Protein backbone atom coordinates (compact mmCIF):
# COMPACT_ATOMS: atom_id res chain seq x y z
CA UNK A 1 0.00 0.00 0.00
CA UNK A 2 1.21 3.50 -0.80
CA UNK A 3 1.00 6.58 1.36
CA UNK A 4 0.76 10.34 0.94
CA UNK A 5 3.74 12.54 1.56
CA UNK A 6 4.13 16.31 1.39
CA UNK A 7 7.21 17.80 -0.27
CA UNK A 8 8.34 21.37 -0.93
CA UNK A 9 9.76 21.95 -4.36
CA UNK A 10 9.78 23.46 -7.80
CA UNK A 11 8.58 22.12 -11.15
CA UNK A 12 11.60 21.80 -13.43
CA UNK A 13 10.10 20.10 -16.42
CA UNK A 14 6.70 19.09 -17.78
CA UNK A 15 5.81 16.36 -20.27
CA UNK A 16 2.32 15.90 -21.63
CA UNK A 17 1.10 12.33 -21.19
CA UNK A 18 -1.96 10.96 -22.99
CA UNK A 19 -4.82 13.36 -23.51
CA UNK A 20 -5.13 15.13 -20.18
CA UNK A 21 -2.22 14.13 -17.96
CA UNK A 22 1.28 15.44 -17.31
CA UNK A 23 4.46 13.99 -16.02
CA UNK A 24 6.43 16.53 -14.05
CA UNK A 25 9.98 16.64 -12.75
CA UNK A 26 10.17 18.21 -9.31
CA UNK A 27 13.19 19.42 -7.41
CA UNK A 28 12.32 18.87 -3.77
CA UNK A 29 13.83 19.65 -0.39
CA UNK A 30 13.01 16.24 0.96
CA UNK A 31 13.77 13.79 -1.87
CA UNK A 32 15.98 15.56 -4.33
CA UNK A 33 14.80 15.34 -7.93
CA UNK A 34 11.73 13.18 -8.52
CA UNK A 35 9.17 12.66 -11.24
CA UNK A 36 5.45 12.50 -10.59
CA UNK A 37 2.29 11.96 -12.59
CA UNK A 38 -0.36 14.63 -12.48
CA UNK A 39 -3.61 13.08 -13.62
CA UNK A 40 -6.03 15.36 -15.37
CA UNK A 41 -3.64 18.29 -14.99
CA UNK A 42 -4.27 19.43 -18.57
CA UNK A 43 -8.03 19.52 -18.18
CA UNK A 44 -9.38 23.08 -18.16
CA UNK A 45 -10.33 23.98 -14.60
CA UNK A 46 -8.11 21.36 -13.02
CA UNK A 47 -6.68 22.46 -9.68
CA UNK A 48 -3.33 21.14 -10.91
CA UNK A 49 -3.31 23.00 -14.24
CA UNK A 50 -1.12 25.96 -13.19
CA UNK A 51 0.43 24.22 -10.22
CA UNK A 52 2.20 21.80 -12.53
CA UNK A 53 3.71 24.41 -14.86
CA UNK A 54 7.46 25.04 -14.99
CA UNK A 55 8.72 27.34 -12.20
CA UNK A 56 5.77 26.66 -9.85
CA UNK A 57 7.14 26.51 -6.33
CA UNK A 58 5.28 25.33 -3.26
CA UNK A 59 4.01 22.29 -1.41
CA UNK A 60 3.03 19.18 -3.30
CA UNK A 61 1.09 16.37 -1.72
CA UNK A 62 2.09 13.18 -3.47
CA UNK A 63 0.77 9.67 -3.36
CA UNK A 64 3.79 7.44 -3.14
CA UNK A 65 3.11 4.26 -5.03
CA UNK A 66 5.42 1.31 -5.38
CA UNK A 67 7.36 2.76 -8.30
CA UNK A 68 5.99 6.23 -8.93
CA UNK A 69 4.56 9.37 -7.40
CA UNK A 70 1.19 10.89 -8.24
CA UNK A 71 0.33 14.49 -7.43
CA UNK A 72 -2.77 14.63 -5.22
CA UNK A 73 -2.81 18.32 -4.33
CA UNK A 74 -0.60 21.36 -4.61
CA UNK A 75 -0.37 24.62 -2.75
CA UNK A 76 1.75 27.04 -4.77
CA UNK A 77 3.57 29.93 -3.08
CA UNK A 78 5.20 31.38 -6.16
CA UNK A 79 4.32 30.77 -9.80
CA UNK A 80 7.04 33.11 -11.05
CA UNK A 81 4.46 34.40 -13.52
CA UNK A 82 6.54 37.47 -14.42
CA UNK A 83 9.15 35.09 -15.80
CA UNK A 84 6.74 33.56 -18.26
CA UNK A 85 5.33 36.94 -19.25
CA UNK A 86 8.59 38.72 -19.95
CA UNK A 87 10.28 36.68 -22.59
CA UNK A 88 13.51 38.55 -22.23
CA UNK A 89 14.06 36.63 -19.00
CA UNK A 90 11.99 33.52 -19.80
CA UNK A 91 14.93 32.02 -21.68
CA UNK A 92 17.20 32.54 -18.70
CA UNK A 93 14.65 30.95 -16.40
CA UNK A 94 14.30 27.88 -18.60
CA UNK A 95 18.07 27.56 -18.84
CA UNK A 96 18.33 27.57 -15.03
CA UNK A 97 15.65 24.87 -14.83
CA UNK A 98 17.40 22.72 -17.43
CA UNK A 99 20.74 23.20 -15.68
CA UNK A 100 19.27 22.12 -12.33
CA UNK A 101 17.52 19.19 -13.98
CA UNK A 102 20.79 18.05 -15.54
CA UNK A 103 22.75 18.37 -12.30
CA UNK A 104 20.35 17.05 -9.67
CA UNK A 105 19.68 13.47 -8.75
CA UNK A 106 16.98 11.45 -7.10
CA UNK A 107 17.32 10.83 -3.36
CA UNK A 108 20.23 13.22 -3.22
CA UNK A 109 20.34 16.21 -0.90
CA UNK A 110 19.58 19.02 -3.36
CA UNK A 111 18.47 21.66 -0.86
CA UNK A 112 21.27 24.02 -1.84
CA UNK A 113 20.45 23.73 -5.54
CA UNK A 114 16.76 24.36 -4.84
CA UNK A 115 17.65 27.44 -2.82
CA UNK A 116 20.02 28.64 -5.53
CA UNK A 117 17.41 28.12 -8.21
CA UNK A 118 14.77 29.98 -6.21
CA UNK A 119 17.03 32.96 -5.42
CA UNK A 120 18.30 33.13 -8.99
CA UNK A 121 14.79 33.21 -10.45
CA UNK A 122 13.89 36.00 -8.02
CA UNK A 123 16.99 37.93 -9.07
CA UNK A 124 15.99 37.46 -12.73
CA UNK A 125 12.63 39.06 -12.04
CA UNK A 126 14.18 42.04 -10.31
CA UNK A 127 15.22 44.99 -12.45
CA UNK A 128 18.10 45.65 -10.04
CA UNK A 129 20.34 43.02 -11.60
CA UNK A 130 21.82 42.55 -15.03
CA UNK A 131 20.43 39.18 -16.12
CA UNK A 132 23.77 38.24 -17.68
CA UNK A 133 25.38 38.63 -14.26
CA UNK A 134 22.58 36.58 -12.70
CA UNK A 135 23.38 33.84 -15.20
CA UNK A 136 27.11 33.87 -14.39
CA UNK A 137 26.42 33.82 -10.65
CA UNK A 138 23.96 30.94 -11.05
CA UNK A 139 26.38 28.90 -13.19
CA UNK A 140 29.38 29.34 -10.94
CA UNK A 141 27.43 28.76 -7.73
CA UNK A 142 25.80 25.64 -9.20
CA UNK A 143 29.28 24.31 -9.96
CA UNK A 144 30.35 25.15 -6.40
CA UNK A 145 27.30 23.45 -4.86
CA UNK A 146 28.24 20.33 -6.82
CA UNK A 147 31.91 20.52 -5.85
CA UNK A 148 33.07 21.31 -9.37
CA UNK A 149 33.97 24.98 -9.13
CA UNK A 150 37.41 26.16 -10.21
CA UNK A 151 39.98 26.58 -7.44
CA UNK A 152 40.34 30.34 -7.15
CA UNK A 153 41.61 30.66 -3.58
CA UNK A 154 45.22 29.61 -4.02
CA UNK A 155 47.74 29.10 -6.81
CA UNK A 156 47.37 25.66 -8.37
CA UNK A 157 51.12 25.31 -8.64
CA UNK A 158 52.60 26.70 -5.43
CA UNK A 159 49.59 27.21 -3.15
CA UNK A 160 50.21 30.92 -2.65
CA UNK A 161 47.13 32.99 -1.84
CA UNK A 162 48.30 36.36 -3.20
CA UNK A 163 48.71 37.79 -6.68
CA UNK A 164 46.26 35.35 -8.21
CA UNK A 165 46.00 37.16 -11.49
CA UNK A 166 46.12 34.29 -13.92
CA UNK A 167 43.62 31.59 -14.76
CA UNK A 168 44.23 28.17 -16.28
CA UNK A 169 41.27 26.34 -17.81
CA UNK A 170 43.25 23.12 -18.15
CA UNK A 171 44.20 23.06 -14.48
CA UNK A 172 40.84 24.48 -13.47
CA UNK A 173 41.75 27.54 -11.46
CA UNK A 174 44.04 30.32 -10.34
CA UNK A 175 47.76 30.64 -10.92
CA UNK A 176 49.96 33.26 -9.26
CA UNK A 177 52.16 35.72 -11.15
CA UNK A 178 55.36 33.85 -10.28
CA UNK A 179 54.05 30.50 -11.59
CA UNK A 180 52.19 31.79 -14.64
CA UNK A 181 55.22 31.37 -16.92
CA UNK A 182 55.22 27.63 -16.27
CA UNK A 183 51.54 27.15 -17.11
CA UNK A 184 51.18 27.44 -20.91
CA UNK A 185 47.43 28.02 -21.02
CA UNK A 186 47.31 30.56 -18.17
CA UNK A 187 45.65 33.84 -19.15
CA UNK A 188 45.89 37.14 -17.29
CA UNK A 189 42.60 38.23 -15.76
CA UNK A 190 41.32 41.26 -13.86
CA UNK A 191 41.80 41.23 -10.11
CA UNK A 192 38.09 42.08 -9.71
CA UNK A 193 37.12 39.05 -11.77
CA UNK A 194 39.07 36.80 -9.40
CA UNK A 195 37.46 38.49 -6.37
CA UNK A 196 34.04 38.10 -7.95
CA UNK A 197 34.57 34.37 -8.46
CA UNK A 198 35.85 34.00 -4.89
CA UNK A 199 32.81 35.82 -3.56
CA UNK A 200 30.31 33.76 -5.58
CA UNK A 201 31.89 30.48 -4.53
CA UNK A 202 32.13 31.31 -0.82
CA UNK A 203 29.04 33.47 -0.16
CA UNK A 204 25.80 32.19 1.37
CA UNK A 205 23.18 31.66 -1.32
CA UNK A 206 20.94 34.21 0.41
CA UNK A 207 23.62 36.89 -0.05
CA UNK A 208 24.67 36.05 -3.60
CA UNK A 209 22.63 38.67 -5.37
CA UNK A 210 24.00 41.74 -3.69
CA UNK A 211 26.63 43.22 -5.97
CA UNK A 212 27.31 44.64 -9.40
CA UNK A 213 30.38 44.46 -11.58
CA UNK A 214 31.74 46.56 -14.45
CA UNK A 215 30.96 45.54 -18.03
CA UNK A 216 34.57 44.53 -18.45
CA UNK A 217 34.52 42.17 -15.47
CA UNK A 218 31.17 40.77 -16.52
CA UNK A 219 32.44 40.04 -20.03
CA UNK A 220 35.52 38.31 -18.63
CA UNK A 221 33.46 36.30 -16.15
CA UNK A 222 31.12 35.18 -18.94
CA UNK A 223 34.01 34.18 -21.16
CA UNK A 224 35.82 32.25 -18.42
CA UNK A 225 32.66 30.43 -17.38
CA UNK A 226 31.67 29.50 -20.92
CA UNK A 227 35.08 27.88 -21.46
CA UNK A 228 35.07 26.24 -18.04
CA UNK A 229 31.58 24.79 -18.51
CA UNK A 230 32.51 23.47 -21.96
CA UNK A 231 35.43 21.56 -20.42
CA UNK A 232 34.04 20.44 -17.07
CA UNK A 233 30.32 20.04 -17.75
CA UNK A 234 30.45 19.40 -21.47
CA UNK A 235 26.70 19.23 -21.89
CA UNK A 236 24.88 21.18 -24.54
CA UNK A 237 21.80 22.76 -22.99
CA UNK A 238 18.95 23.23 -25.46
CA UNK A 239 17.61 26.26 -23.61
CA UNK A 240 21.04 27.90 -23.61
CA UNK A 241 21.23 27.60 -27.39
CA UNK A 242 17.87 29.34 -27.68
CA UNK A 243 18.95 31.97 -25.16
CA UNK A 244 22.13 32.77 -27.07
CA UNK A 245 20.30 32.94 -30.40
CA UNK A 246 17.75 35.32 -28.89
CA UNK A 247 20.52 37.52 -27.50
CA UNK A 248 22.22 37.69 -30.88
CA UNK A 249 18.97 38.80 -32.47
CA UNK A 250 18.54 41.48 -29.81
CA UNK A 251 22.07 42.79 -30.24
CA UNK A 252 21.63 42.82 -34.02
CA UNK A 253 18.48 44.88 -33.54
CA UNK A 254 16.29 42.36 -35.33
CA UNK A 255 13.58 42.54 -32.68
CA UNK A 256 12.77 46.16 -33.40
CA UNK A 257 11.28 45.48 -36.83
ZN1 LIG B 1 52.17 30.01 -7.71
> Do 13 and 69 sit in the same domain of this protein?
yes
**Which protein residues have their CB within 5 A of the ion that is ligand 1?**
155, 157-158, 160, 176, 179
State whether 194 and 132 are in the same domain.
yes
**Same-domain check for residues 114 and 227:** yes
Q: Is the residue at 256 inside a domain?
A: no
196 CA distance to ligand 1 middle (Å): 20
Q: Is the pLDDT of residue 86 over 60?
A: yes
Q: What pLDDT digit, counting tens, does each position of 141-187 carry? A: 999 999 999 999 999 999 999 999 999 999 999 999 999 999 999 99
Q: Is 241 inside a domain boundary?
A: yes
pLDDT of residue 257: 38
Q: What is the pLDDT of residue 253?
A: 65
Beta bridge partners of 33: 27
151 and 72 fall within a common domain = no
Contacts of residue 136, Cβ cutoff 8 Å, sequence gap at least 6 = 200, 218, 221, 222, 225
Q: What integer pLDDT is reported at residue 88 of this predicted model?
A: 80
Q: What is the DSSP pairing of strand 173-175 with strand 166-168?
A: antiparallel
In the chain, what percentage of residues exceed pLDDT 70? 98
In a domain, 240, yes or no: yes
- CATH code, 123: 1.20.1440.120
CA dist 41 and 50 (Å) reads: 8
What percentage of residues in the chain have a pLDDT greater than 90? Answer: 84
Give the separation between CA 115 and CA 112, rounded to whole angstroms.
Answer: 5
**Same domain, yes or no, for 226 and 203?**
yes
Q: Are residues 110 and 93 in the same domain?
A: yes
Q: What's the pLDDT tens digit per position in 6-39? A: 999 999 999 999 999 999 999 999 999 999 999 9
pLDDT confidence bin for 191, thresholds 50/70/90: very high
Question: Which CATH number fits the domain that encloses residue 30?
Answer: 2.40.50.140
Average of per-residue pLDDT values in the chain: 93
Domain boundary (79, 112, 135) is at 79
Same domain for 44 and 143, yes or no, is: no
62 in any annotated domain: yes
**Same domain flag for 109 and 218:** yes
Residue 136 CA, ligand 1 centroid: distance in Å? 26
At which of 59, 79, 99 does a domain end? 79
pLDDT for the residue 254: 55
Q: Is residue 138 part of a domain?
A: yes
Give the pLDDT score at 256.
Answer: 46
Residues 154, 246 share a domain: yes
Residue 106 has pLDDT above 90, yes or no: no
Residue 257 lies inside a defined structural domain of this protein: no
Ligand 1 centroid to Cα of residue 195, in Å, is: 17
Q: What is the pLDDT of residues 203-241, one digit of tens each?
A: 999 999 999 999 999 999 999 999 999 999 889 999 999
Q: Which domain holds residue 203?
A: 87-251
Burial level of 212, CB count in 10 A (0-12/13-18/19+)? Answer: exposed
Domain count across the chain: 2
Final residue of a structural domain among 14, 48, 79? 79
184 CA distance to ligand 1 middle (Å): 13
pLDDT above 80: residue 250: no
**pTM of the shown model:** 0.94
Regarding whether 137 and 17 lie in a shared domain, the answer is no
Please write the tens of the pLDDT for every residue from 118-149: 999 999 999 889 999 999 999 999 999 999 99
Distance of CA 156 from the midpoint of ligand 1 (Å): 7
Same domain, 232 and 106: yes
Interval between CA 179 and ligand 1 midpoint (Å): 4
Amino acid sequence: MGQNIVVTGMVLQVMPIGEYDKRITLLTKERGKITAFARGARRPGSQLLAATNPFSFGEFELFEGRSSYTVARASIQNYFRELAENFDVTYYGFYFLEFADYYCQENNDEREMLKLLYQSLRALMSTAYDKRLVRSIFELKALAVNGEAPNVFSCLKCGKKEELLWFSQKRGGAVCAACAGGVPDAVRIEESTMYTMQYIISADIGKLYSFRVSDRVLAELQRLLAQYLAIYVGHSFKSLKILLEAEQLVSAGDFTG
